[in-house]
Structure 1
């Protein structure tokens, strides 16, 4: 039995060339390699080497203090500080300062080379006191502060003697006894918290000034409280706005003049171990129609109480809305809350409010007459109102942009339009 051999393949693979072109493998970039760049024909020459920059003499630019200026500085600084200023002037070389120091001469430069005889509100801080500064000025320790408080109360007791027929059981005589609660409030402003070489300092300290207090109203008057309880506005019989009027100083006429609108109202459910607890969610806007707008939201069981709480929150959260010509917004603004995107666009006079009803009510409450809006994505009512309010608050005012760039904003419409604008 013979074994057959396998047949040879008649087709063979083409041979791979031994020499292949070399391809440069590098990332795509617009700039050529260093070896391929064209070298400059001429070396760079500085403007100072060509004589195009003229520098004033350093002695004329950085002048020494004369006797009159030193006398003015001595009224402000102590002798030790004056010695430090003179030593600093001797240590600094004007020629070296002229070469190494860079003095700006562009439009954004400030007048730093000044004699400091005039105050600039944008740069300088308010002067706290007149005359030289006490080098030993410091805060009082708690023991020193308590001792000065004690001296203040002892002085009041010496000026107001206790009558001979004083009866501690009589409440009317206890009210006339000094020091009382009113003196305790006044002591926080009368007793200083700084001490110097010559004792307590009556001038302003390094701490921030306190909030002005009405000491007379600190002592409760029962007659006034009775009168306030008896006086009730018929428009607010339940007294829901009483606390709001005390906190904000508003009157019932102001509250009733606001444009308040309920935009969102739906039922919410909270699942607990006792079952489903149903409540209501209400979102309300409030505006004065003249550039102020606020949002308020509340949850509750009762419809009337929840709506009143939302109104109070909206009035309390009212913020100023920037308006261009008191009729539209500044340019185009966008805001995004969750899946809702809102784009507000300014429009010319007479355009009107061409937007959905939620943004329409917000613009009318804020006093905006010309506005266009787009809500391309989700249109959830609650998020739409919040996004529109955020867009109104994040407007970029041209005055602030110009101030940040160091430029001035000039209105030339009256010039170009012949005074008709």
Structure 2
């Protein structure tokens, strides 16, 4: 080693540190977090271009003339609220975050906050209510008094129908009710039977399947709606039941049904003949169809988990163009539900029947931004900013 050359001790040099970065899975199709909200730089002077001054210089306090003009449209209390809002808002935030959003979760208004939106606003009691604010429930003595008066007014031979009419007409409150409410009556009207000719359903053919007509009556779908529903048999195998008379053989079918636009159902059927079991499973799947929430009509909201028996799986959202990358049973369910971007990871058991049930359970467990906002008392845009990376 050359003695004339100075030696630097590496232990005395400061070690450069980098801020910790946490990699997160994207929930939407916009750019990554590092590519957004970068400070805007003005390289060209305003005096050279002759254009208007930067946006941050345009947010100035109201002048006396402007306040006088605002006083013509707003009350003094509203003017104080406007001035307090101006002082609370930082112009720098308006410069970098005050962008108009075009996504489905964006606000439908700019500065008109007088309209109450039930999804993102807290419920407000109607000030023009027709009910007495001093309305209260009756105590026990008042209820007993009403019952005693009803006993006095009973006919010579009372029946159970008289008691049911009394229960319908009685009042449990004391006060002036200006608006009449529709009471829930215990006297049910005459219910039509399945074969009642007054039920107007299309039955042009005499040879039409009666199970199809019954399905239309149970679900409310028309014949055109039922034709759009697609079914898929995922599991089919024979089963044997051991009894004292011997082995009884039958067939088991597991079928899914969906319209490709947010409806999905799972049904099971078992019969001695395979055709009867298949038909039974298809009808049960159509009757059990439920709406599946979809983000941008293509994927799910966040990550959801499902567990049935020994099957544990996780469904994850994916950006546009990713496709459906999972096992065949979940792939068919996504195809009938109208989900085009999804990833799934299954652990432990791979039982086909429990896999379908666990996936259907996970799809119904999605937490929507509206539910999170309502539970936390926040605006929906604030929830989407935290969980979905949207601009405010």
TM-score by length of structure 2 reads 0.54
Query: Superposition RMSD on alpha carbons, in Å?
Result: 4.5
2:137–2:172 Cα contact (<8 Å) kept: no
Question: 1:194 maps to which residue?
Answer: 171
Structure 2 alignment gaps of length 5 or more:
1-120
User: Which stretch of structure 1 is more off in the superposition, 304-313 or 122-131?
Assistant: 122-131
Distance (whole Å) between structure 1 residues aligned to residue 209 and residue 376 of structure 2? 53
Matched, 1:364 2:330: no
2:228 to 239, 242, 257: 257
Question: 1:407 maps to which residue?
Answer: 378
Question: 1:8 maps to which residue?
Answer: none
SS in 2 for 1:368: coil
- Which structure has more relative contact order (CA 8 Å, sep 6+)? It is 2
CA shift in 2, pair 1:193/1:348, >3 Å: same
Distance (whole Å) between structure 2 residues aligned to residue 326 and residue 338 of structure 1? 30
SS in 2 for 1:269: strand
CA shift in 2, pair 1:407/1:148, >3 Å: same
For residues 101-148 of structure 1, what are the alpha-carbon distances to aligned partners after superposition, in whole Å with 9 as ceiling and x for unaligned?
A: xxxxxxxxxxxxxxxxxxx97476997844864886755777765776
Structure 1 alignment gaps of length 5 or more:
1-119, 154-183
Question: 2:68 maps to which residue?
Answer: none
Question: 1:278 maps to which residue?
Answer: 249
For residues 158-181 of structure 1, what are the alpha-carbon distances to aligned partners after superposition, in whole Å with 9 as ceiling and x for unaligned?
A: xxxxxxxxxxxxxxxxxxxxxxxx
Question: 1:305 maps to which residue?
Answer: 276
Distance (whole Å) between structure 1 residues aligned to residue 303 and residue 266 of structure 2? 22
SS in 1 for 2:361: helix
Distance (whole Å) between structure 1 residues aligned to residue 295 and residue 206 of structure 2? 36
For residues 173-230 of structure 1, what are the alpha-carbon distances to aligned partners after superposition, in whole Å with 9 as ceiling and x for unaligned?
A: xxxxxxxxxxx89x859951238999xx99768xx94279995xx3879xx9457699
Residue 259 of structure 1, CA deviation: 1.9
Distance (whole Å) between structure 1 residues aligned to residue 284 and residue 252 of structure 2? 13
Question: 2:313 maps to which residue?
Answer: 342
Matched, 1:382 2:353: yes
Distance (whole Å) between structure 1 residues aligned to residue 206 and residue 389 of structure 2? 48
Distance (whole Å) between structure 2 residues aligned to residue 330 and residue 197 of structure 1? 48
Matched, 1:232 2:203: yes
